[in-house]
Amino acid sequence: EVLEDSNHSVAVDRFRQMLECERELTVPIIESLGNLRIPPNMVGALRETVLGILESAPFSDLPVAVRFLLESLDRGGDFSVKQIKSKVVSELRQKFLDICCSDIGIGTDISEDATKLTNIQCIIKTLHSSLISRDDVCKAYLENVESGNNACFCTIDFWLLVSLRGQSIYSKKATNILKKHVARTGMITPEFVKRAIQ
């Protein structure tokens, strides 16, 4: 159904409410939001709602949620905007850490493990695409990884940094982070690389 301009805010608010209670509809709701003009004064509340469901969101919903969160970030460089970018990146990285600490690849259900791994690959592709298309978001991500404690570093971070080394604009920074905050602390062990490749 085609909505009048004045009805977009009503639809956005309704979708936001649905996101809070209709978790099985997360993907179609977020995709539908992409077809609406979200009023600037509603973006923050919508972003908070999506961040709030990350903890319980199934793997298959994450690529769509991640793309929405990163695309919702303002391009401005003032302090408050930078704080929001930092918060979103931090919460996403915590979710990635939780994913990578789960028993992927060692369960008894081979088909389920394969599905989880496919979803992680989709997350990495989504992140890589979003980061290279938004220099400001990529900088926020790199700063977060560089300043974060080593315990938060996970397989997804590893592959993102490796992929960003292929982009000339980020190559030096990504390489320095890998060397300074990973290799020198002994985090890239044979076991870590094995898990990352698996």
Ordered by start, the domain boundaries in the chain are: 1-57, 69-197
The gap between the terminal CA atoms of the chain, to the nearest Å, is: 44
Digitized pLDDT (tens) for each residue of the chain, 198 residues in all: 545 666 888 889 999 999 988 888 999 999 999 888 888 889 999 999 999 888 788 878 888 999 999 998 887 777 888 899 999 999 999 888 887 776 444 444 556 666 767 778 888 899 999 999 999 999 999 999 988 777 788 888 988 999 999 899 999 999 888 887 666 666 666 676 666 655
Which phi and psi (to 5°) does residue 15 adopt?
-65, -40
Residue of 25, 58, 26, 196 whose CA lies nearest to 121: 196
pLDDT value at residue 137: 93
Displacement of CA 67 from its chain's centroid (Å): 7
pLDDT value at residue 104: 46
Residue-wise pLDDT tens digits, 85-107: 999 999 999 888 887 776 444 44
User: Tokens standing for 150?
Assistant: 């080593």
